[in-house]
Amino acid sequence: MNADQHTPVALCRTCGEPVNERDRFCEECGRPDPTTPRTPPLGTALPHASPTPASRAAPFAPNPVPRQREQPPSAPQADPGEGTAAGGACVDCGVGAVGADGYCEQCGLRQPSGREHVEAEAGRSGAAVSDLGLRRSRNEDAFALAELPAGVCAVVCDGVATAPGSEEASRLAAEAALAVLTGRVPAGADPRGAMRDAAARAGEVVAGLPGDPDSSPACTFVSAVVDAGGITVGWVGDSRAYWLSPAGSCRLTTDDSWASSMIEQGAMSAEEAWADRRAHVLTAWLGADAGPLDPHVAAFRPTGPGLVVLCSDGLWNDLPEPSDLAAVALTGRDGPLDAARRLVRAALDAGGHDNVTVAVLRYPPPGPSRERGR
């Protein structure tokens, strides 16, 4: 399965997705005549103008009024379609009513979902930011995070773009996994076992979503538990976890992808594998067509302070090396939210070709904590 296989003939002038010359509508955003320039009616705004964060086009600066900061850290993110309710007016043409499917019945434009830019914090221990990016019409990434009695945990999921329904799949998977972690780890469960259970539960939820047998909703998965006893990460697919520290940084996960498989087998050099058009084809994911689920789990205990970063490929496609991420995240003495914002901004400045989601967790967690045996 590949999230980004296209044969571009032309690009939609609204969302930038490839379209065919004879397409009357963009299949990604629903714009009619997607390759034809048009002038918006006086007094209206193009759809990307309204929901786009003010900081996106400007040089990066911390946003003093985050759009979703009032959201409780562990609360679910906005449901698709929450941004413009069915029956409301279209944000583009201002004339058509928005249908239950989230599209304008007059001009066919897909309405903002409320997930274009989301931020949340888990006390002083962690934070996450998810952004639409500059080329996509919808954000199929999702995150969930929460404080634990002795630390913090987070989940990042990336919906597979070629599978309809993956926007909901990523959101539900993140929420389901977080519920397992926040229920089992405080009760004394080993984080490695809890991580496997969390991935399994997320997989069950995604597999249960309705969809075409040949193209069912799907997403990738990465999660982390951070407490005084160490760091535990789990993953399926190519969403990644990194350890960033002034003393040295490294990647904690290996991708379930075609390129990683070729490199591991010695069939290709890293340069050759990543240059191949099949490089990002997934070899494992969450979904009804994924087969038996076998999540990866790893744990380690750092010797000094640092940050755990969970991210979708919208970040690591542009900043793949741990040193690149450390140079951005470890600048300054601010908290996890500012570090997450800087990383997202770096991805947007690099082109913002995909949705980008980053969770930053501090190690050791601040405040009194009880060391867990492991």
Say if residue 249's pLDDT is above 70. yes
- Which residue has better confidence, 129 or 291? 129
Q: Report pLDDT digits (tens) over 64-102.
A: 323 332 333 333 444 444 555 566 777 777 777 777 666
> What band does 17 get if pLDDT is binned at 50, 70 and 90?
low
Say what the pLDDT of residue 28 is: 61
Q: Report pLDDT digits (tens) over 156-171.
A: 999 998 778 889 999 9
Q: How far is CA 7 from CA 134, 274, 277, in A?
A: 20, 19, 12
Say what the pLDDT of residue 105 is: 79
3-class SS string, 88-125: CECCCCCCCEECCCCEECCCCCECCCCCCEEEEEECCC
Query: Hey, which bits of 228-295 come out as E strands?
Result: 230-236, 240-244, 250-251, 286-287
- Terminal CA-CA length for the chain: 37
Q: Residues 6 or more apart from 274 whose CB is under 8 A from it?
A: 259
Round to whole Å and give the CA distance between 342 and 315: 11
How many C-beta atoms surround the C-beta of residue 182 within 10 A? 21
Residue-range domain boundaries for the chain: 117-363
Say if residue 174's pLDDT is above 70. yes
* pLDDT, the chain, mean: 81
CATH 1.10.510.10 given to domain 117-363: no
